[in-house]
Structure 1
């Protein structure tokens, strides 16, 4: 509830303090006196766009502050806590400073805060119904929220929310499991392809080293042949040419043995002969080995095929190495992994069935919510139409259209598309709310809607001290209204004030007379300038203001009529 509004240097208002009643407050005054500046002040603390042209001439800045009373269990406390704010003795101070040059500054309980936070906080406390404030009710989301409040469908919405959240959790879990399954399938495919590739190549331990050695021999075959040939020529030339006459190492050793044996002295050269024979045997073995190498040299295979095989083995080592032994070990390990791998198709299938069941449950809960909304929508439209008739808008009507989406799709709020369609006068086509009719008609429509909603919740079920009262501000609600309709308008504002704080800017005495408090906005001239004052009127002062509003004068007749009107304006 708005307990105090203070304004400084805003337009013609130098300084004003307004303390609205907990019930209904009327703001009156001559046309052009500056009543709109009070609404501008409320707009400022509600986060509206600041206009430096509204700073009073010659002043550095305009300033507005609203003081709101909060209950101990206020619905605003979580938002305040999130913003790091705490009520001060149950009060919330929202202020806005607009300099003549520069950027505006928003404050909450004396702390600088973003303008968006100011708008969010005030938006939960104050609802302004004026020509420039109707567009927000054009939002389908706000229309749905209004209908839900009227329908009192908390139980159905709670049931649907639980079903929806369960469905969302299961679908998230299913998507995650399917992603895991896809990853497992991809990994299994990779393992199979890799194992098959290695098996096709069939690498053997140490094969790459042997092949590289073989390639080296082939690439150096001429040098090797030359070296072996020279060695054999020196050791045993007969291996190269049976008719060779050049002496060889093997032949010379044989000659040495024969020479020692022919000495005729037994046992003298036995040790030397034995050593020479051993040398001859070793030499024969070397000659045999070289001879075989000579026979096979250059015949170890095709060099191109050899290089292709080495390249194939190098590729295996590059992917699964670094050695051939590592490649073979990786293949064996991958085979075990492939055997143990489970893509869990059974789990996916079970979770899909669970999701289908949860979706069916959510759809059932959504249908129950939709049924409650449709019934409430018909009742709301009918009762709003009745109220509009009493507000000099006979033939006007509101259709609350609740339709299930054609595709049956669900979202966080159910399966309904909600639309408020307003018919401002007989014969007019149905028009989307917020985009049609005059400011006065829309204000009266909103009054009718708020009144019907409040009575649906039970007007007077809680006193102002026991419950946090919302604040409704009506501007232009009396446009085009007079006579009996004006009385009915004031009466309905007073009825709404039983469950909410109502502030109305009005030109009609029949409306102002119903208020618990009345403030007059008046021009004052002096020192070569004109300013605006805001003062509360009561008793005789209020009778004079009501008389002025009735007849434009304070004659005895108009004063008597004013007193009669004030006495009659009681619920």
Structure 2
């Protein structure tokens, strides 16, 4: 609720502080006194477009601030937290409210005489739309200068849902709708990808066939390149090996050779050392030479095998051809043969998945039909509850309008079910092309189109709300609507402040008393602020403020006329009610005022 509204240099108001009560607050005063400036101030902190012409003459800027007491876990506090002006625990830098679970939000707006306005939320500059979004959860203004809150179909649906108390049905439908959307999206994506999937599968199959035709083995290319190098350098290899063997063991090269090789020389050295029978290190040296000779024998054997290897120079072309085939594979799917083989194995699995896509499409079509049927059933349950609530709400509002001096006025709430048409429902009979372009009768809000039609007087045609009534009639219609859902809106508590302007236009006598009574009734569950010219309405208020204008320096002064805002209580309030009744403060009007105040109790 609005705890305090402070205004500086806005129009004729130089400085004013309004502290409305928890229940109903009436703002009264002579015509032209400046009551509209208070509404302008509230609109400014609600994100309305700033008008520099409203800045008081001679002032550099106008400033207004509203302090709201809100539920710490409510939507308004959540929006403030999302905007980064509150901590995650709901505590900001502002003073903590006394009540547990409550906190204060400060919404302010500065409008310079020239330049851009500045929006501030809890001491932090924010975009104007952020201020407006927070204020939308706190203040609802019903007046001719404001767009009707329920003029849009979306707002009308939200209002009807609140009256229907259908949260469980909406949540059930929303879950079914989201499941249907998810399956439908998967099917559309898969259908759109079928052509590219076929191309991909063809490419993969051709690639796998090419790789399998070559049939590479891991490391085969490196082995072939080494073999090619040996063939190309066979003569050089043979000459080097032959020379080495001749030096190490001449008999392995030429059996008729008497030349002493390295192995023979080491054998003689070992034998010579073994003949020494004197103690010392000779035995150890002989053992080491035997070990060396064993290694030398292995080397000679390996080199002899190299001499025996048949390096076929005529097979060089075949080796080069094979290496070329393997290089082509690594160039396209490498860089190594291991990468090529790994790519082929993965491609085989991908081909299987792509080849299975027609079956997947059919599976998803079946899932979509089932998901649509489930969503449709949930939508029908929600629609039935809305339809019943629409009848009850329309009847209740129409009765309230009659009591508000609008006999013959009425509200009709239409819950129109969308028609699906030939493409509306997925089925086995729909072609693939039809289902891909289908427009479902469902959307995220269900299967219904909601329309509020208002008849302001007998004989008037039914017209959409916002286009069929004067400002006063619209205000009374909104009052009737708010009264009809007051208990369901609040559930015991509410942060919403309702402001009614011109709600008393064209009303008088008993109807005015009924109007005030109903505003007081609404104030039992929500804060209500009403700008009124009628004493019969103001008398029902818990708090009353009088807006008056005068010369700040007294009579005869040439100083500018200024508007003041003062709360009236006790005798002062009786005098104001008397003025509103007869324009004077005679004994009769004062007596009538006392009687009216005494009788204006719920």
What TM-score do the two structures reach when normalised by structure 1? 0.74
CA 1:12–1:189 in structure 2 vs 1: closer, same or farther (change >3 Å)?
same
Q: Which residue of 1 aligns with 2:77?
A: 77
Measured after TM superposition, the shift of residue 77 of structure 1 is 2.7
Q: Secondary structure at the match of 1:364?
A: helix
Q: Kindly indicate whether the alpha-carbon contact (under 8 Å) linking 2:71 and 2:77 is maintained by their aligned counterparts in 1.
A: no
2:54 pairs with 1:54: yes
Q: Which runs of 5+ in 1 are unaligned?
A: 201-313
Q: Kindly indicate whether the alpha-carbon contact (under 8 Å) linking 1:23 and 1:500 is maintained by their aligned counterparts in 2.
A: yes
Q: Which residue of 2 aligns with 1:258?
A: none
CA 1:16–1:35 in structure 2 vs 1: closer, same or farther (change >3 Å)?
same
CA 1:362–1:551 in structure 2 vs 1: closer, same or farther (change >3 Å)?
same
Measured after TM superposition, the shift of residue 355 of structure 1 is 2.1
2:501 pairs with 1:490: no
Measured after TM superposition, the shift of residue 190 of structure 1 is 2.7
User: What aligned pairs does 1:256-271 form with structure 2 within 5 A after superposition?
Assistant: none
Q: Which residue of 1 aligns with 2:404?
A: 391
Pick from 351, 362, 365 the counterpart of residue 352 of structure 1.
365
Q: Secondary structure at the match of 2:57?
A: coil
Q: Which residue of 2 aligns with 1:19?
A: 19
Pick from 405, 414, 418 the counterpart of residue 405 of structure 1.
418
Q: Per-residue CA shift, 1:428-463, capped at 9, x if unaligned?
A: 1110101221000000000000000114558xx63x
Q: Per-residue CA shift, 1:196-253, capped at 9, x if unaligned?
A: 99999xxxxxxxxxxxxxxxxxxxxxxxxxxxxxxxxxxxxxxxxxxxxxxxxxxxxx
Q: Kindly indicate whether the alpha-carbon contact (under 8 Å) linking 2:330 and 2:340 is maintained by their aligned counterparts in 1.
A: yes
Distance in 2 (alpha carbons) for counterparts of 1:432 and 1:351: 42
Distance in 1 (alpha carbons) for counterparts of 2:346 and 2:27: 85
Distance in 2 (alpha carbons) for counterparts of 1:110 and 1:434: 36
Number of residue pairs the alignment of both structures matches: 456
Q: Which residue of 2 aligns with 1:29?
A: 29
Distance in 1 (alpha carbons) for counterparts of 2:342 and 2:486: 76
Distance in 2 (alpha carbons) for counterparts of 1:193 and 1:357: 39
Q: What's the RMSD between the two structures over aligned residues?
A: 3.2
Q: Secondary structure at the match of 1:161?
A: helix
Measured after TM superposition, the shift of residue 352 of structure 1 is 2.4
2:133 pairs with 1:133: no
Q: Kindly indicate whether the alpha-carbon contact (under 8 Å) linking 1:195 and 1:331 is maintained by their aligned counterparts in 2.
A: no
Q: Kindly indicate whether the alpha-carbon contact (under 8 Å) linking 1:10 and 1:56 is maintained by their aligned counterparts in 2.
A: yes
CA 1:197–1:570 in structure 2 vs 1: closer, same or farther (change >3 Å)?
same
Pick from 568, 571, 596 the counterpart of residue 537 of structure 1.
568
Measured after TM superposition, the shift of residue 184 of structure 1 is 3.3
Q: Which residue of 2 aligns with 1:431?
A: 463
Distance in 2 (alpha carbons) for counterparts of 1:457 and 1:162: 24
Q: Which residue of 1 aligns with 2:243?
A: none
Measured after TM superposition, the shift of residue 78 of structure 1 is 2.1
Distance in 1 (alpha carbons) for counterparts of 2:60 and 2:345: 82
Measured after TM superposition, the shift of residue 470 of structure 1 is 1.3
Q: Which residue of 2 aligns with 1:251?
A: none
Q: Which runs of 5+ in 2 are unaligned?
A: 97-102, 214-323, 421-439
Q: Which residue of 2 aligns with 1:187?
A: 200
Q: Which residue of 2 aligns with 1:120?
A: 133
Pick from 417, 430, 450 the counterpart of residue 449 of structure 2.
417
Distance in 1 (alpha carbons) for counterparts of 2:545 and 2:346: 88
Distance in 2 (alpha carbons) for counterparts of 1:66 and 1:76: 14
Q: Which residue of 2 aligns with 1:342?
A: 353
Distance in 2 (alpha carbons) for counterparts of 1:33 and 1:322: 86
CA 1:422–1:490 in structure 2 vs 1: closer, same or farther (change >3 Å)?
same
Q: Which residue of 2 aligns with 1:524?
A: 550
Q: Secondary structure at the match of 1:138?
A: coil
- More deviation in 180-189 or 150-159? 180-189
Q: Which residue of 2 aligns with 1:239?
A: none
User: What aligned pairs does 1:201-212 form with structure 2 within 5 A after superposition?
Assistant: none
Q: Per-residue CA shift, 1:137-181, capped at 9, x if unaligned?
A: 211000100111111111111111111122223333434455665
Pick from 374, 382, 396 the counterpart of residue 361 of structure 1.
374
Measured after TM superposition, the shift of residue 399 of structure 1 is 0.7
Measured after TM superposition, the shift of residue 331 of structure 1 is 12
Q: Which residue of 2 aligns with 1:153?
A: 166
Q: Secondary structure at the match of 1:50?
A: coil
Q: Secondary structure at the match of 1:533?
A: strand
